[in-house]
Amino acid sequence: MRQRLSSEPDRYRGRRRVPTPPRSRYAVVVTSAFVGAGVVALGAASNLPDNKAVDPDVLSSLSKGSSITTDALENRGDNAASRGENREANTQLSAEDAARDIYLLPLDDYEFTSAYGVRFGKLHAGIDLAAPDGTPYKAVHGGTVTAAGYSGGYGYMITIRQDDGTEMIYAHSRRVLVNKGDVVKAGQVIGEVGNTGYSYGTHLHLEVHVNGTPVDPITYLEQHGVSIKLQMESVYAALDAEAS
């Protein structure tokens, strides 16, 4: 082996040895994490029961849970439908209540000719509304027809009893268009204006009896939103007309 002389230039002089890069501590951490995760996964897998060995009670519980959920949904649907039916029933009841409270004018056009009170020494127990012969007149309020036909001084007349016992009498008719026992509604045409019985001119005679006693129809109807003198009907009548 040749001995290197001290005078021989060092061919390594001026060169630096490139060191091998140290292993990154981040790589070590990541590798450890993967290894650890694998160990945990293997351990968990070893503790999982075989699908074939699942407890039947667990499956039964799951099945029952599904059934309970389905039943709950069905019950919720039934409750919603029930609430809808209740709202509809309440609406119908409200409409029926409003219909029972409707009071209307008996004629669309008339002339108020005679008031309630003493006349010729006798009680004129109603009011007179003049209109042409044969003009249709309507029920002021709903109720049951208790009399319909000719009755002495009233001529052809109609009596309608309301649910509260109040009676309305329509007299001196040319003819009546309802029969005893009929149930009528407010605004229904029930007869025609005439001049029968003890009458002085063609008109509709209207009486109101409360508890069997005649009262002033003007005052009674005003309490129910109807003005004979101003020819105004109740607010319920306007609402009913809008609904229909």
Q: H helices of the chain, where?
A: 25-47, 56-100, 217-222, 235-243
**Cα–Cα distance between 166 and 136 in angstroms, integer?**
23
How confident is the model at residue 10, as a pLDDT? 46
**Strand partners for 136:** 192
Tokens 């029968």, located at residue: 196
Tokens 């005439």, located at residue: 194
CB of 172 within 8 A of CB of 195? yes
How confident is the model at residue 120, as a pLDDT? 85
How confident is the model at residue 243, as a pLDDT? 54
Torsion angle defined by CA atoms of residues 192, 194, 199 and 204, in that order, rounded to the nearest 10 degrees: 40
**Strand partners for 124:** 117
Closest CA to 163 of 217, 207, 100, 208: 100
**Residues ≥6 apart with Cβ < 8 Å to 177:** 189, 190, 191, 192
How confident is the model at residue 83, as a pLDDT? 66
How confident is the model at residue 27, as a pLDDT? 45
Handedness of CA 134, 135, 136, 138 (dihedral sign): negative
**Residues ≥6 apart with Cβ < 8 Å to 112:** 127, 128, 129, 130, 228, 229
Distances from the Cα of 170 to the Cα of 5, 80, 154, 235, angstroms? 153, 49, 8, 23
pLDDT along the chain (244 residues), means of 10: 46 44 44 46 47 51 52 61 63 55 94 94 95 98 98 97 97 98 97 96 98 96 94 66 52
How confident is the model at residue 15, as a pLDDT? 43
**Residues ≥6 apart with Cβ < 8 Å to 217:** 116, 126, 127, 206, 207, 208, 228
CB of 179 within 8 A of CB of 163? no
Quote the distance between the C-alpha of residue 75 and its chain's center: 22
CB of 205 within 8 A of CB of 170? yes
How confident is the model at residue 195, as a pLDDT? 98
Helix axes 235-243, 56-100, angle to 10 degrees: 130
Model-wide pTM > 0.75: no
